[in-house]
Every structure is written in C-alpha cells, then in structure tokens.
A and B are shown apart, each in its own frame.
Chain A
Amino acid sequence: MSAPGSTALRRTRLHSLHRELGGRMVPFGGFEMPVQYGGILREHDAVRERAGLFDLSHMAQYDLRGDGVAAWADELTVNAVATMKPLQARYNIFTNERGGCHDDVLFYRLPDRWLLVVNAGNREKMWELLNAAAAGRPDVQVNSDHGQRALLAVQGPRAAEILGPLCDLDVAALKYYYCAEGRVDGAPAVIARTGYTGEDGFELFVDGRDATRLWTLLIEAGAPLGLEPAGLGARDMLRLEAGMPLYGFELSEEISPLAGGQGWAVKTAKPAFTGKAALVAQLERDDYDRIAGAVLEGRVPARSGYAVFRDGERVGEVRSASIAPSLGNRNIATVLVRKDAAAVGTALQVEIRGSQHAATVVPLPFYKRKA
C-alpha cells in the first residue's frame, strides 16, 4: 500500500481562487498554501471580531470503519475514543513508546464511520502508522480520501450567522465539538463546530468538487457581515493566542503530551495505550521540561528557537512566538523550559540577537473569548 501524495508540492482545489484573492502562496506540510491575503493582522482581526474563511484542505482526512475502531484507536492514543458519543468530535494524540507524539488529531464519530483529521505534514507518517496498526485486524478498515475532499473553516463570532442560512440544519443549535451530516447550499457536508482559532466557528468537510462553489458562496454571503479569507499566518497567530499546540512546535516525537501542555487529554485510566508506561513515569517523576506561556517586555519579537534563560542560566528555548493583537500587541511566546522555570510569574530572559529581553511566565491560554 502506498502513501497518498508525492514529494512535489501539492495544491488544493481552491488554489486558483487563492491566487485570484491575492493569496501569497508558501510551502506548508507538502502543499502550496496561502499564508496571507490582505495581511495577517487584518485577517486576525476579522476572525476575532467578525469571521474568517480558511482553506484547510491540506489536512489529511482518513476514514476508519469497522466494529473494532474504538477499541483499536484507544490503544494507539492518549485520549478516550470508545466513550465518544455519536456525532461527537474529540481532540486526541497518537503517541510513541517513549510518550512522544506521532501527531495530534481530531476524531469525529459519524453514523457510518470515524473521520480522522491529521496534520498535513504528518499525513504519510500517519497513513503508514494506521495501516500497520490495522494489519491483521479484520474489524478495522483505514481509507484515505485521496485528496477528493476539501475542508473549509468559517471561524469567528459571526460564523453561525453567515453559515446558518446556507445550511439545511440549525447550525446555531450544534454543540461545541459536535458535528452533523447535512447540506451546505445543497452540497453534502459534515458540519462540525470545531476550529483552531479560539473563536466560535465551523469546519465543513465537503466533496472537493463542491469546494470552489462553496468557498465563493461563503465569501459572498459573509462579506456583508465582515468575513474575509484568512491564511495560515493568521491561523498560527490565532491558535497561539488561544494556547493551542501546533505539531512540530509544542508537540513532537520528542515532546510528550504532558510536556506540551496537553496532559488534560492523557487518560491514564485507560488499560493500555502506546507510550502509557513512559507517560505514567513522566507524571510520577514530574521532572520533565514543559511548555509555558511567556509575555515579553518591549516590542522586540521572539522567534522559534531563541534561547531562554533565568538568572543567567539557560533553561530552555522559544517554540512559537508572535505579536498578539488580542493582548494589545504584546509579544507572546511558548517556551519549552525546565520545570522550575515554568511556574506562572517566573522572570525569564529571552536572548534576541545577543541581548537579553525580559519575559514573564503567564497562564495559558493567552486569550480566551468572552462567553
């Protein structure tokens, strides 16, 4: 069985529309994706204040079918799968034997299958892992959509208002982290109240052949309410403000869910899962380096990889960083630091081009939307 995709940069169905909208295309996770259209700060504000439309078709969608899926997946991941209710969505992490992360994912429990959404950069690795794990299991079938589906996200406080009139179901009544099968302007869709921005919003799993029409329709329907197309730059800024991890930065094969601040998702009461022993040992020793939030003083931005010190001693490094418009344009960062430097209130220094800049550990998330 071969992995879907190849080494050349791939394009989503919306590629030419992104270009028409002035999207600046960059390589991301093996795809050519828009990092911005009108500007990252402007798109950020559109999502926080009104709504933004994202093309997330680069993320891989795998279908899991069979009576054994829940029990099988529970042995590969840290969070509970079998306890998911019909049409529920749940964040989860596939772990290695050392407790590190293969990928962080979303499971959606649909009537006839489970939909698994994995990071674009991990699509081949996860495809191989899922197929290897399903080998010899007649009660688990793993299928790829082979790029036939698209994923659009409408995110922001006005998302329900924009999407509602286009759907054949009451999207406003959809609960957070639940989904439904319905139609968007007649096109079949899984409509999920999920997202990666810290705002209310919906993700639409649709047939790739409907993607262009639905994107155009959402842009037109949303424009009067202030919706704008938003790229990966705004998405990264929004997720960082909201304290959500990005694979490769806050989580990796070396950074465990506990270290990455996702301990809430680790269900050690499950009888067995890959990496459980390592994670239980980490929990007991509680001595691992961990992700903390930091706010910098001054206007100089931190960048991923910059060294972090406390009282002249190196204690870790910056993993993600950004200016945070939702926090008065202060510079924020996630830092991976020793346990004793991760407590809220700790005074840190970030080394930027040879000089030390003061920072303070703050609670995550940096930003929480008003209920």
Chain B
Amino acid sequence: MAQPDGLLYSKEHEWAKIEGEVATIGITDYAQNSLGDIVYVELPRVGQALAAHASIGVVESVKAVSELFSPVAGEVLEINPALEKDPATVNRDAFGEGWMYKVKVAGPPADLLDAAEYDRFVASA
C-alpha cells in the first residue's frame, strides 16, 4: 500500500501534514480500512494543548472503539466540522476530506516516519 509522500506518520497510524507552523492531522488509509465503517469521531477542543503521542480522542467503528493519539505537540486550531455529520468521510478519503484537526505545532515533530518507513512499518504489522 503506497502512502502519500510529503506526510509524516506515527506508529499509531496517524498522519501529519506540516505546512509552516500548522499541522493537519488525520488517520491513515490503513487505519480506516482496519477499523471498518466509522460511525463516530471524538476530537479535541479548539484551543486544547496536546502533548505528542497523548490520547486525545476516539474513533469508533461499528465494532470497536479506538483511541486517537496526537502525532505532534501543539494547540488545536480547528477541527473538521464535516466529521460530526458524516464520520464515514474518513473511510472514503482518509488523507483528504477525512482530515480530523489542525494544530499549531509547538516544536519539531519527533520520531515520526516518512512514507517509505510507514509502508515498511505497516507491511511488518
């Protein structure tokens, strides 16, 4: 499974697209596919300070509840309003319309993977 280049990936299957100070965060296509039909997403609040790799929300599929972890440290700027009405957006377009929230990044992201590294990580999972 090829991952989009230019994104950073966590071993908890989140992606981060970092543009200047702002990181857009979502879960990977591998993650949405493993979860199956997503029926609910609980995101952090705007303004909330996130520590890297902290549990900051949940994503619920038909069968299971999974925690969301923040791949970067920072303050939440915005959440994707579309996910409240249609959480399955994440299934349809995990790397695009299914983005989850944006963070004002505090410090450089640590120990994230590039696309090739995440590919290998997923292949070995």
- Which A residues form the contact surface with B (CB < 8 A)? 24, 35-36, 39-41, 233, 237, 299-301, 303, 322-323, 329, 353
Contact = CB atoms under 8 A, between A and B. Distances in A.
A39 B58 CA distance: 20
B63 A35 contact: yes
Interface residues of B, number: 13
A35 B87 CA distance: 21
Interface of B: 36-37, 39-40, 42, 58, 60, 62-63, 65, 84, 87, 91
A40 B40 contact: no
Contact of B63 (A40, A299, A353): A40
A59 B82 CA distance: 42
Nearest to B63: A233
B65 A303 contact: yes
Contacts of B42: 300, 353
11 contacts: A36-B36, A40-B37, A40-B62, A233-B36, A233-B63, A299-B40, A300-B40, A301-B39, A303-B65, A323-B62, A329-B39
B108 to A, nearest CB: 32
A35 B42 CA distance: 25
Contact of A40 (B36, B84, B87): B36
Contacts, number: 34
A233 B62 contact: yes
> Top 3 A-B pairs ranked by shortest CB distance?
A40-B62, A41-B37, A323-B39
A98 to B, nearest CB: 32
A68 to B, nearest CB: 44
Contacts of B63: 35, 40, 233
A300 B65 CA distance: 11
A303 B60 CA distance: 10
A299 B36 CA distance: 17
A301 B40 contact: yes
A39 B37 contact: yes
Interface on chain A toward B: helix, strand, loop, or mixed SS? mixed
B14 to A, nearest CB: 20
A299 B84 contact: yes
A350 to B, nearest CB: 14
Nearest to B39: A323
A209 B62 CA distance: 34
A42 to B, nearest CB: 8
Nearest to B58: A353
A108 B65 CA distance: 39
Contacts of A36: 36
A353 B66 CA distance: 12
A39 B88 CA distance: 12
Q: Which of the listed residues B36, B39, B60, B91 has the most CB atoms from chain A within 10 Å of its own CB?
A: B39
Contacts of B37: 39-41
B71 to A, nearest CB: 22
Nearest to A236: B63
A353 B68 CA distance: 14
A181 B63 CA distance: 37
Contacts of A41: 37, 62
Contacts of B60: 300-301
Contacts of B40: 299-301
Contacts of A39: 36-37, 91
A328 B5 CA distance: 38
Nearest to B84: A299
B103 to A, nearest CB: 22
Contacts of A322: 62
B34 to A, nearest CB: 9
Nearest to A36: B36
Contacts of A301: 39-40, 60, 65
Nearest to A234: B62
Contacts of A300: 40, 42, 60
A299 B91 CA distance: 17
B29 to A, nearest CB: 14
Contacts of B65: 301, 303
A39 B65 CA distance: 17
